[in-house]
Amino acid sequence: MNKEMTLKDIVGELRDGMVIGVGGWGPRRKPMALIREILRSGLKDLTLVAYGGPEAGMLCAAGKVKKLIYGFVSLDQIPIEPYFRKMREAGGVEVAELDEGLLLLGLKAAGQRLPFLPTRVGLGSDVMTYNPGFKTVKSPYDDGEVLLAMPAIELDVALIHTTRADRLGNTQTDGPDPYFDELFARAAKKTYVTSELLVDRLDKDYSDKAKSSLFERYLVAGVSETPLGAHPTTSHDAYGWDMKHLQTYAASAAEEGGWQKFFDEYLAGDEKTYLERVGGEAGIRALPIPTF
């Protein structure tokens, strides 16, 4: 069993119109190498589901997104993702703006093969107004409480960046927070993983790190070795986000033709040339992990 794939192989498995979930959280641990490969492809009409960071802005800027389902889209120190803001203010893309916890519950319902999970979250807020498909249920017990039936968010694929992986599809993820990568993997028909390091068998050299595995290998359809593949987002514990690069990216959103210029300058070509253009391996590895 060998699940190793190239980035191109993985993107070759994606289809126009798919529902794609992306792991990570804002500018943290995003599978950006894979996102860049999608940006270089002809894929379109995607539904993107994320706790969004630069991947959401970039895919919107490139016209790849038909619908965006999000808990937020933020670059943290740049609180509102610049191309997300631009797209929203132009009324450009269909959106489902969810409470962060509702996104969690929608993914959880999909992973459990349930139609919905009941919750109070969202009631009384405009989440109900702007997600007109949301319906309530009445508790069948004596309390009779009316709750939101948060519908399952089923994904065609989940794309997730990890610290270490093996060719069997086992993964390990360092860093203080697992975010909701597990729920994305469980909600998806197939999960494709990029990893800072790929080995034959994690049990041989990283047996002591087994608790950092976030989900089972039976969920993983393919894995690609992409060192520095989360740049410009943080990949614990290897390198921090590249806020200078993100600021350059953000500034491009204010320019006429800014996205095309940014694409040509940094993203066109392949990962090797990309990494050289953004400071090379030594430069990226020197980026400090931010504290708060």
Q: Rule CB under 8 A: which residues touch another protein?
A: 25, 70-74, 79-80, 84-85, 88-91, 97-102, 104, 119-127, 129-130, 136, 138, 144-147, 176-180, 291-292
Nearer to another protein, 80 or 199 (CB): 80
Q: Which is nearer to another protein, 3 or 186 (CB)?
A: 186
Nearer to another protein, 25 or 274 (CB): 25
CB of 180 to another protein, least distance (A): 7
What is the closest distance, in whole angstroms, from the C-beta atom of residue 93 to another protein in the complex? 11
The nearer residue to another protein, 42 or 288, going by C-beta atoms, is: 288
Nearest distance, CB of residue 42 and another protein, angstroms: 28
Q: What is the closest distance, in whole angstroms, from the C-beta atom of residue 131 to another protein in the complex?
A: 11
Strand-by-strand arrangement of the 116-119 sheet: 116-119, 146-151, 135-138
The residue (of 74 and 224) whose beta carbon lies closer to another protein is 74
CB of 115 to another protein, least distance (A): 20
**HSE (CB half, 13 Å, CA atoms) of 230?**
33
